Amino acid sequence: MASAAASAHIQATPTLCAAAKPPVQMHSEHPQRKRVLFVTSEFADLIKCGGLGDVSAALPRALSPQHDIRLLIPGYRQVVESGRPIRIVGQLTGLAALPPCQIGRMDLADGLIVYVLLNAALYERDGSPYVDTQGRDWADNHIRFARLGLAAAEIATGDASIQWRPELVHANDWPAAMAPAYMAWRQASTPSLLTIHNLAYQGLCDMRCASELAIPESACGVDGLEFYGQLSFLKAGIAYAQHVTTVSRRYAREITTPEQGCGLDGLLRAKVLLNQLSGIANGIDESWQSENDPHLLQGFTAGDWAGKQANATYVRRWLNLDADGPLFAVVSRLVHQKGIDLTLQVAEHIVARGGRIGVIGQGEPALEAAMADLGRRYRGRIGVHIGFDESDARRLYAGSDFLLMPSRFEPCGLSQMYAQRYASLPIARCTGGLADTIEDGVSGFLFDAPQADAYRRAIDRALHVFEHPELLDAMRCKAMRAPLYWRQSVQPYDRLFQRLLSQAGAHRAMR
């Protein structure tokens, strides 16, 4: 099932017999460590499109001291050709239009175990996990990601021919959201948790796809997957998971309102009444250390800004920016949600006030083109790089004075925390996780309305601070202490895992 280029890294397990299931491992080596399957469509070590990839790489590692947590990801070309050996450990039969697959196991150097869902026809393609090289959604995304959810359910019910069986399944966003539904339809006793990273992306497909996905007719109504005449993967996860989390406390409140509920606010309010919805803020991983990040030209600590200046010098040369003036950064997907159009509207104001803007990102073609045109019109004052490079992005965070982040909505946001850690003060809209992680006038600047006038006023406040070095230094030092690392923010997940496992145990005892 794997491509020829990848076959050297995929090895059959000699003891695996397709005709018989191996015994299911029912006890961890350490009884207090629970077995958790973390189901995701991105994993930054191997493939990343956005913040989900970062979270999927960091959260399982942060939880691993407390739990035996393993990942399940699709076997994209970037995964199977990563050079890391993959050992075949499981076989999955097909169901309706969902094809048979293999389960490979990848053991990473730090001990993290990744299960890879292998089917070359489904996953080994050029492009990203979700779109082709022209930016168009794959026409069979409903098959590709329903297969991921079904695989998670099969592992949970012991039908995957592997020796490890989870006590809890943690699904992430719409690509994994069918896992709780398939688990429920298979009457799995294993509890499931769904984390919503962005409610706006719901995984919609035609209602006629129900038979292809083996969705029971009883689940196709308004109380199930039906969403304004279509099927919604995310709604399935919300409806069938024992608990739903999202990635900040404020966003958990916002998505229960008609304004930001994306049509699912009623279902989410019902979850609140059942005490089945909560917000748990993301952290950042341990690599974001300004003093010793190998991506930076020179490290720095709070109050000693020589290293920050060295990175600023690199950024100005890289983007052909003039050497004077405060440096504003845009490190973002160039999409409507991120308020890029608002930044386009205020850019002239920043330049007129003596500021310089450095941009790195990619996204919607129209916004990419508009940003590139802005760079051409303001050569030396606005520098634009369409694309993404981790080292250059980190140097831009470290070298900039301010980060522009006028998101229309932001479930959590990581960029503002990366910027804070590197003493770049975020200028952000007061929404979702931005409101939870930025203290206005202390560790950054917030504005309310998603309008250019409100944005300009926040920028003017930032420029006033820049003109007063003592105040700027104080805010930089506050900002650097603000972000949480994952090791500091895993306790709520640990408590929730224990609660769900306890409830599941009580439910089984009552049967």
Three-state secondary structure readout of 121-154: HHHCCCCCCCECCCCCECCCHHHHHHHHHHHHHH
Phi, psi of 268 (to 5 degrees): -70, -35
**DSSP assigned state of 403:** E
Q: Does domain 34-283+489-500 have CATH number 3.10.20.30?
A: no
Residue count of the chain, please give it: 511
Q: Mapping DSSP to helix (H, G, I), strand (E, B) and coil, where does residue 329 land?
A: strand
Quick one: pLDDT at residue 17?
34
258 exposure class (CB count in 10 Å sphere: 0-12, 13-18, 19+)? exposed
Q: How far is the C-alpha of 237 from the C-alpha of 218, rounded, in Å?
A: 16
Q: Is 21 annotated as a binding residue?
A: no
What's the CA gap between 286 and 487, in Å, rounded? 9
Residue 55: CA atoms inside 13 Å, Cβ hemisphere, count? 29
Fold of 305-483: Rossmann fold (3.40.50)
Beta strands in 394-453 (DSSP E): 402-405, 425-429, 445-447
pLDDT at position 9 = 54
Do the bridges between strand 101-107 and strand 86-92 make them parallel or antiparallel, or are there none, so unpaired?
antiparallel
How far is the C-alpha of 179 from the C-alpha of 185, rounded, in Å? Answer: 10
In angstroms, the CA 131 to CA 12 distance is 30
For 477, how many CA atoms within 13 A lie in the half-sphere containing its CB?
9
Q: What residues of the chain score a pLDDT lower than 50?
A: 1-8, 13-30
Sequence-distant (≥ 6) Cβ neighbours of residue 46 within 8 angstroms: 73, 76, 78, 79, 82, 114
pTM: 0.87
Count of C-beta atoms within a 10 Å radius of residue 281: 20
Q: Domain-by-domain residue ranges, the chain?
A: 34-283+489-500, 305-483
Contact of 394 with 293, CB cutoff 8 Å: yes
Domains 34-283+489-500 and 305-483 share a fold: yes
